Each structure stands twice: as structure tokens, then as C-alpha cells.
Amino acid sequence: MTGRALEIAEAARLGRRAVELGDDDAAALCWGGFALAYVAYELDDEIAYLDRALVLNPNLAAAWYVSAWLKVFIGEPEDAIERLARAIRLSPLDPFIFRMHAGIPCAHFFAGRYDEASSWAEKAVRARPTWLTAVRGAAASHARAGRA
């Protein structure tokens, strides 16, 4: 195994351990599920972990926005937008709100609403102009919306 493969395997192991030990802890389920989804690309069980986290703590903004990104990835953009809107309402001053703002244009983009995606992408870029996820989303949205 390469160094990267070993790191991914270790992150997956630790993510599984977090959700195993934190079955009744919303934050452990949220961030363990996040590690499994984003690092190990294991999406099926991770959505269940995030949904359980939200049952345990429906006010955990991080669980709403992490689960929203997973919904984008599995092709459920409407649910993603609702989850992101809720995360923003729960934590309007969140230091990671730029991640929430960047998720909304991605959801609109995959729903084929390029003008809305473009508008939201601009907001995400203004919030964090150096975050490549926001910049890529803006570029793709503008291109599909016919803007230079």
C-alpha cells in the first residue's frame, strides 16, 4: 500500500471506531460519518450515521450541512438544499458557513438550475474567495448559465 492508501485506510478505521463508540453521540456520528464519506468514499452507511446524529441532536448545524453534502453526492439536491438552509438558520455566524453557502450552488447545479447555482456560488466565493470548492462551483455554474 502507498502512503496515501495507508492514510485513507487509517482514516476509515478511525471513522468506523468513532461511530462505533459514539453511537449515542451526535458529534461522533457526524464527524465519524464525515470521515468515512469524504475520505473513504463510503456513502451508504454514512447517511444513516448522519440521520442518527440528527435524531440525537436536531440542532447540530454541522450534521445538517455534512448530511446535505452527502445528499448532493447521491443525487438528492432538494433535500440537500433544505438541510443546508436549516444549518444556516441554526448557525448563522458559523465560522464554516462558507461551506454551507458552497453546498447550495452545488445542489442547484446538479438539479439543473444553473442561474440559481451561479447566484449562490457568487455568495460562496465572496465569503471565502480562496476556497477552491467555492471557486470551482462558481466557474461551473457560470459556464452552464452562459456567463463568461
What pLDDT, in 10s, does the model give residues 3-44?
988 998 998 899 899 999 999 999 999 999 988 888 888 777
Task: Residue 76: count other Cβ atoms within 10 Å of its Cβ.
Answer: 18
The identity of residue 47, as a single letter, is I
pLDDT confidence of residue 4: 87
Closest among 97, 146, 145 to 117, alpha carbons compared? 145
Rounded mean pLDDT of 67-91? 95
Q: How far apart are CA 133 and CA 137, in angstroms?
A: 6
Q: How far apart are CA 104 and CA 84, in angstroms?
A: 7
Q: How far apart are CA 80 and CA 13, in angstroms?
A: 27
With 0-12 / 13-18 / 19 or more C-beta atoms within 10 angstroms meaning exposed / middle / buried, residue 44 is: exposed
* All CATH 1.25.40.10 domain ranges in the chain, comma separated: 60-148
Share of the chain above pLDDT 90, in %: 66
CATH superfamily of 60-148: Tetratricopeptide repeat domain (1.25.40.10)
Share of the chain above pLDDT 70, in %: 100
